[in-house]
Chain A
């Protein structure tokens, strides 16, 4: 395993003290609670967490696609220094697909079943670069399809989504999401619905495209082994907060936060057969449930009174390695 590149270049995206609220009737709950992180240029950042941890909501906020019941209640989302949270819808629309793009878990629901692949992949160019003539668009679509490894782009362009396999459709999504050469791609569980052999191909492709075009990726997944395959740095989220962040190879081998340790331990591995899995007791709190200042306290094996009274500060364990826990000491 090679050390992942330490990315020294400037930050493309900076999230500062971001909080996102949910309106439910008269009540307001916190889906994301005062989080902050950066994505460097060309970096692949993995975001890991269980359901309701806020990973998807945070990324919808970056895309400006929060549904009506959700709203940014505080903090900044700085993309190249500009605050996305304060932009008008019009300004945001001009960026989506051009500077920031997104791919989802199920490509079939993201593609229009009635429009040919070639037409759909070229759509972002038609919207954001009206000056480009149609022949040029066709040429670039073919190029883009070839880049994502689809054989015979000319044939594929004439097909409809249902005529492709799941893996091919996800490639089409990637071709569409990268055709404007965005600086940032948000990939929300992009391989979860795919079979393992196809997953391997899509992961390899994403890494290749990211390195080739210096495109940053925020890669969301619940699967630490998948994250380990392609990410430079990882953020572990729990119940709307960040628990830990570190380079991928560090977090897999030297996790500091009890939640990260528990997650890694609860994955069945070849040598755990026949033994009881050290599962984390309890369950992930839903948004409406009361949360302790440290939300992991009810499930944490080392929790003390202080965890229920006071939120833990960030502890700098090593360079690039931060965890939020009262019982960790700085480097």
Chain B
């Protein structure tokens, strides 16, 4: 899964993608404002690779997923297996890319049996005879940890985890080269979410596909993915191997995200101290400064390291790394911070605090 992907081909190419929406504001006389959701997003996903995209709610990660699926207009180019959605046969395109979403109940038709839901892609694409389709469905049910007896059941008869297994199975029916999983384990119970993560691992071993795994949970993304991109306000601020991004983050936002994950080693003490509490305290002041000056770095308003240089938006710059994958960050400090340097959580809090 992770070795030397760079030698392999690319399944997804996203280059210079921008997306806007028009904010109509409240009331009929409100001024229409164009707001940028994705801002010059570029990256590639290698074949067979699990690629994680992390960010807070509203950062544009799902918008990007929808743009790749051809569900949204955008500027720039997105190619899946060399094909552009707008310029290709839709049927051929959907054979290449499939999606799994957060809520399996709303993704399944309540009036269709599991078997017919899973057969649907084969029917639509005229693949095989009826018998072959049924056999393929039964095989797939086994592969996702269910069995042939589930084919005659309805979604309501299944638990949340089983439904998500069905969604994953349905997405795999056409043997796509890319799966987009948007918060695919977020709505599941903890113990069941772990089963689904394991399932992704298992099917990965037996099939050839790449995955764009979109999530707000850095721990989950690190666990599952080979490479990670961190997104903030529609911009990719850091991208690199899972090891580099998770263990040697360079961008102040990535550091903040990592430090703010609650853990089991420290707690918020009665006097309001503790790792998480320090982060919270330091970060709270920045909430007020919400707007960046025009053209500034997207993290300018919250960044403890921001200076006048940051008024000009930084581009993704290579970070010195020993990993075989490139590690890049959109920060003026990127080139100065070799990713070998490990930052402790405490020092992040300190950095954020020292500027307050």
Contact = CB atoms under 8 A, between A and B. Distances in A.
Given A165-B287, A199-B260, A201-B284, A229 B194 contact: no
Given A207-B272, A228-B264, A283 B161 contact: yes
A55 B216 CA distance: 25
A273 B269 contact: no
A308 B200 CA distance: 33
B301 interface: no
A298 interface: no
Interface string A226-254: 10111000000000000000001100100
Interface stretch (B35-43, B107-115, B184-192): B184-192
A197 B267 contact: no
Given A229-B262, A283-B159, A248 B191 contact: no
Nearest to A149: B284
Nearest to B263: A225
Contact of A266 (B162, B190, B222, B266): B190
Given A199-B262, A248-B267, A279 B277 contact: no
B313 interface: no
B283 A200 contact: yes
Interface string B204-231: 0000000000001001101110000000
Nearest to A162: B26
A279 B195 contact: yes
Contact of B268 (A51, A165, A204): A204
Contacts of B162: 283
A280 B219 CA distance: 19
B269 A2 contact: yes
Contacts of B216: 195-196
A5 interface: yes
Contacts of A286: 159
Contacts of B16: none
A58 B222 CA distance: 36
Interface in B280-319: 280-281, 283-284, 287-288
Contacts of A268: 194, 197, 219-220, 222-224
Interface string B247-291: 100000000110011111111111010101101110110011000
B324 interface: no
B219 A196 contact: no
B10 to A, nearest CB: 23
B257 A229 contact: no
Pick the most buried of A267, A276, A286: most chain B CB atoms within 10 A of its CB: A267
Nearest to B158: A283
Given A2-B269, A223-B262, A248-B267, A197 B257 contact: yes
Contacts of A165: 287
Contacts of B222: 268, 270, 273
Given A1-B266, A204-B281, A196 B198 contact: no
Main SS class of interface, B = helix
Contact of B160 (A51, A224, A267): A51
Pick the most buried of A200, A223, A263, A270: most chain B CB atoms within 10 A of its CB: A200
Contacts of A293: none
A151 interface: yes
B71 interface: no
B57 interface: yes
Nearest to B162: A283
B56 interface: yes
A82 interface: no
B268 A207 contact: yes
A78 interface: no
B283 A201 contact: yes
Contacts of A283: 159-162, 192
Contacts of B267: 1-2, 228-230, 248-249
A209 to B, nearest CB: 11
B201 interface: yes
A267 B190 contact: yes
Nearest to A285: B159
A311 B82 CA distance: 60
B150 interface: no
A25 B220 CA distance: 41
A269 interface: yes
A222 interface: yes
A138 B267 CA distance: 35
Contacts of B276: 200, 203-204, 229
A198 B256 CA distance: 11
Contacts of B247: 270
Nearest to A197: B260
Given A165-B287, A195-B216, A273 B268 contact: no
A211 interface: yes
A207 B270 contact: yes
B74 interface: no
Contacts of A266: 190-191, 193-194
Contacts of B274: 229
B242 interface: yes
A228 B242 contact: no
A272 interface: yes
A277 B197 contact: yes
Interface string A258-270: 0000110011111
Contacts of A51: 160, 189
Contacts of B154: none
A249 B268 CA distance: 12
Contact of B287 (A167, A204, A226, A269): A167
A252 B264 CA distance: 7
Query: Closest 3 CB pairs between A and B?
Result: A279-B194, A266-B194, A268-B223
Interface of B: 26, 56-57, 159-162, 189-195, 197-198, 201, 216, 219-220, 222-224, 242, 246-247, 256-257, 260-270, 272, 274, 276-277, 279-281, 283-284, 287-288
Given A201-B283, A269-B223, A279-B191, 15 more contacts: A50-B191, A151-B288, A196-B261, A196-B262, A197-B260, A199-B260, A200-B279, A223-B262, A225-B261, A228-B267, A230-B268, A266-B191, A279-B194, A283-B161, A284-B191
7 contacts: A204-B281, A207-B272, A225-B263, A273-B223, A276-B201, A283-B160, A283-B192
